[in-house]
C-alpha cells in the first residue's frame, strides 16, 4: 500500500496524549482521502453511481478468486453459500442502491406548517468512512457498508477481518486494481492493525463483529469523537408457540443453523419450547438433519467452522452442557469418523439445558441448537425480555395477532415471524441492533442516511418576514405577559 508523503494533515488540533495517533501508520492514508474529499468537493449522483458500477464490475471479475479465498480461509466453505452472500448479495445491493441515489440526495422540505419558509433538510457526505468487517461473511460485511458510504458521497477505508487473511488480500488486490486509494483503499493485517485502524479519526466508523470488541472500538472512536455504527450479535431467541407444527419450525430453523455452519450474526441461537414437546422436537430434528445431510466428511454443502480456536470453542460449549446434565444429540447418519483437521460439527440439538450452562450464556456461532423448556409463550417472552437485547428475534405461530403482539412487545434489532434471517436481506428495511447487539443501522436508504450528515438549512430572501425584531432587546414590559399567555395556550387542559 503506497501512501503519498505530500499530503496536508487536516485533523482536529492535537490533544494531550495524542502521540500514538501521530505515529499511526495509516494516518497518512486517511489524510490523503480527507484532502481529496475537501479538494474535490461533494461527488455528484453520477459520480457516486460510477463508483458503485466500478465496484460491481470488480466483484464480478473477482468472484471466482473471492470464492476460492473464502473457502481456503474456512478450510472449506460451501461455494453456493459464498456466491449467495459474498458475491450476489453485494451485487444486488449495488443494483438497488444505484437506482435510488438521485432520489435520496434530494433535499427534503418539512411541512409548510412549520412556519419557516425556505427551510430544508440536506444530506451531506461526512468525509472518510472506516469499515471494519467480520470474518463470517468476509466480503459482504466490508463491501455492504461501503456501498452505503459511497452512495452518501464519502471516501472509504476498508479493514477486512484478520481471521480470513486470504480473502483480505484478494479484496485489497481487487480494490487497488479498480479504485484510486483516494476513493477507496484497504488496510490488511492482524490484531494490531485492527486496533490502529479503529484509533484513526474517521468521520464515521462502522464495525461488525462481537460485542466485546465492539465496546473497545467504541472506546477508541470516542477519543476522536468519531460517530460509530456497531453491528454485533448476541443470542437470538426462537419461540415456538404451543400449537405450532414442530416440523415446520424445524425446517426453517435448521436452514439458519446450517447455513454457513450457523456462523451468522442473525442465526437462531436457541429455542424456547413448551415443556412436553421436547421429545417430538428432537425426533423431527434428527429426521430433518438426516435428510439434509446424509453424509458429513466429504459433503460439499457443509461449511467448516472457520478455525481451530472457534472449533474448540463450540465443542467446549457442547461438552460443558453435557457435563452439567444436558442431553446432547449430534446427527451423523452414516456414523462417520470425521478426520482430524476437518472442522465439521454435525447438526446438534441439546435438551434439558439450564441457564448456568455456557451454551445459554454465550453466542454459539455454530450448528448447535439448545432447547429451553418453558410452561407457556408468556414465560418465553418474559425470559427474552429480561436478557440482553438480541440482534434478531424469531417467533413461530399460526395466529397472526399473537405474532404481532410478540413482535411489538420484545425489543430486538429485528424480528421475523414464521421464518428466520429473511428480514435482514430486505434493502427497504434498516439492519442493525440495539443495546448489546449494536448501535445504528444500514442497508438501502438507511445506510445512505447513516453515513450522511443530516443538515438543517434555511435560505430566505432578504425582504421576507423575520421574527428577529420581536426577539431583539429591549423586550419591553409586555413581553413576559405575552410569553405567559403562550405558555397557557400550549399547556394541555385538565
> Residue 317 belongs to a domain with what CATH number?
3.40.309.10
DSSP structural state of residue 4: -
Same domain as 262, residue 138: no
Dump pLDDT digits (tens) for 129-188. 999 999 999 999 999 999 999 999 999 999 999 999 999 999 999 999 999 999 999 999
Give the pLDDT confidence score for residue 494 in this predicted structure.
81
Is 257 a member of any domain? yes
CATH number of residue 42's parent domain: 3.40.605.10
Residue 218's domain comprises 19-232+442-453
Q: Looking at the 3D structure of the chain, how many domains does it have?
A: 2
Average pLDDT over residues 17-31: 87
pTM: 0.93
* pLDDT > 90 in the chain, percent: 88
Same domain as 286, residue 215: no
Is 474 a member of any domain? no
Residue 490, H or E segment: helix 479-490
Is 255 a member of any domain? yes
Same domain as 353, residue 320: yes
Residue 273, SS3 per DSSP: strand
SS3 for 325-356 is: CCEEEECCCCCCCCCCCCCCCCCEEEECCCCC
Is 101 a member of any domain? yes
Dump the DSSP string for 96-159.
HHHTTHHHHHS-BPPPGGGS-TTEEEEEEE-SEEEEE--TTSTTHHHHHHHHHHHHTT-EEEEE
Residues 6+ apart with CB under 8 A from 437: 211, 232, 233, 234, 388, 389, 390, 391, 412, 413
Dump pLDDT digits (tens) for 75-92. 999 999 999 999 999 999
Same domain as 293, residue 205: no
Round to whole Å and give the CA distance between 56 and 70: 18
Sign of the alpha-carbon torsion through 158, 164, 168, 170: negative
Give the pLDDT confidence score for residue 4 in this predicted structure.
42
Same domain as 94, residue 241: no
Give the pLDDT confidence score for residue 115 in this predicted structure.
59
User: What amino acid positions are annotated as catalytic residues?
Assistant: 231, 265
Grid cell, residue 166, equals: 486470504
Same domain as 384, residue 315: yes
Dump pLDDT digits (tens) for 251-288. 999 999 999 999 999 999 999 999 999 999 999 999 99
Same domain as 219, residue 267: no
Average pLDDT over residues 336-346: 97
Same domain as 269, residue 174: no
Amino acid at each position: 500500500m503506497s501512501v503519498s508523503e505530500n499530503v496536508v494533515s487536516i485533523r482536529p488540533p492535537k490533544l494531550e496524549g495524542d502521540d500514538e495517533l501521530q505515529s499511526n501508520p495509516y494516518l497518512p492514508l486517511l489524510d490523503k482521502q480527507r484532502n481529496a474529499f475537501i479538494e474535490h468537493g461533494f461527488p455528484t449522483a453520477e459520480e457516486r453511481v460510477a463508483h458503485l458500477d466500478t465496484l460491481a464490475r470488480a466483484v464480478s471479475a473477482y468472484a471466482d478468486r473471492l470464492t476460492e479465498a473464502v473457502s481456503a480461509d474456512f478450510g472449506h466453505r460451501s461455494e453456493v453459500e459464498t456466491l449467495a452472500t459474498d458475491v450476489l448479495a453485494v451485487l444486488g445491493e449495488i443494483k438497488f442502491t444505484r437506482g435510488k441515489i438521485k432520489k435520496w440526495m434530494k433535499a427534503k422540505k418539512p411541512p409548510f406548517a412549520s412556519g419557516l419558509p425556505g427551510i430544508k433538510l440536506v444530506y451531506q457526505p461526512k468525509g472518510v468512512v472506516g469499515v471494519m468487517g467480520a470474518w463470517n461473511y468476509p466480503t459482504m460485511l466490508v463491501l455492504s457498508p461501503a456501498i452505503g458510504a459511497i452512495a452518501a458521497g464519502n471516501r472509504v477505508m476498508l479493514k477486512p477481518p484478520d481471521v480470513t487473511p486470504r480473502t483480505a488480500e484478494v479484496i485489497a488486490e481487487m480494490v487497488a486494481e479498480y479504485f484510486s486509494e483516494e476513493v477507496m483503499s484497504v488496510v490488511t493485517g492482524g490484531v494490531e492493525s485492527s486496533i490502529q485502524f479503529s484509533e484513526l479519526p474517521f468521520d464515521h466508523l462502522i464495525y461488525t463483529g462481537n460485542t466485546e470488541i465492539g465496546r473497545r472500538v467504541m472506546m477508541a472512536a470516542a477519543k476522536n469523537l468519531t460517530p460509530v455504527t456497531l453491528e454485533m450479535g448476541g443470542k437470538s431467541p426462537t419461540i415456538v408457540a404451543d400449537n405450532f407444527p414442530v416440523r415446520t419450525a424445524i425446517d426453517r430453523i435448521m436452514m439458519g443453523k446450517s447455513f454457513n455452519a450457523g456462523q451468522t450474526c442473525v442465526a437462531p441461537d436457541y429455542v424456547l419450547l413448551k415443556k412436553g414437546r421436547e421429545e417430538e422436537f428432537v425426533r423431527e430434528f434428527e429426521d430433518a438433519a438426516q435428510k439434509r445431510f446424509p453424509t458429513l466428511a466429504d459433503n460439499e454443502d457443509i461449511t467448516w467452522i472457520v478455525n481451530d480456536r472457534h472449533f474448540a470453542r463450540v465443542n467446549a460449549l457442547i461438552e460443558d452442557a453435557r457435563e452439567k446434565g444436558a442431553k446432547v444429540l449430534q446427527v451423523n447418519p452414516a456414523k462417520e469418523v470425521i478426520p482430524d483437521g476437518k472442522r465439521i460439527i454435525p447438526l446438534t440439538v441439546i435438551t434439558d439445558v439450564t441457564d448456568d450452562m455456557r451454551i445459554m450464556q454465550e453466542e454459539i456461532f455454530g450448528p448447535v441448537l439448545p432447547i429451553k423448556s418453558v410452561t407457556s409463550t408468556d414465560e418465553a417472552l418474559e425470559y427474552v425480555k429480561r436478557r440482553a437485547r438480541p440482534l434478531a428475534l424469531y417467533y413461530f405461530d399460526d395466529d397472526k395477532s399473537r405474532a404481532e403482539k410478540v413482535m411489538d412487545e420484545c425489543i430486538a434489532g429485528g424480528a421475523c415471524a414464521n421464518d428466520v434471517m429473511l428480514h435482514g436481506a430486505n434493502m427497504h428495511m434498516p439492519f442493525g441492533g440495539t443495546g448489546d447487539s449494536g448501535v445504528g443501522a444500514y442497508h438501502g436508504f438507511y445506510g445512505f442516511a447513516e453515513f450522511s450528515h443530516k443538515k438543517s438549512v434555511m435560505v430566505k430572501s432578504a425582504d421576507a418576514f423575520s421574527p428577529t425584531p420581536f426577539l431583539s432587546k429591549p423586550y419591553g414590559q409586555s413581553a413576559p405577559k405575552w410569553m405567559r399567555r403562550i405558555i397557557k395556550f400550549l399547556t394541555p387542559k385538565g
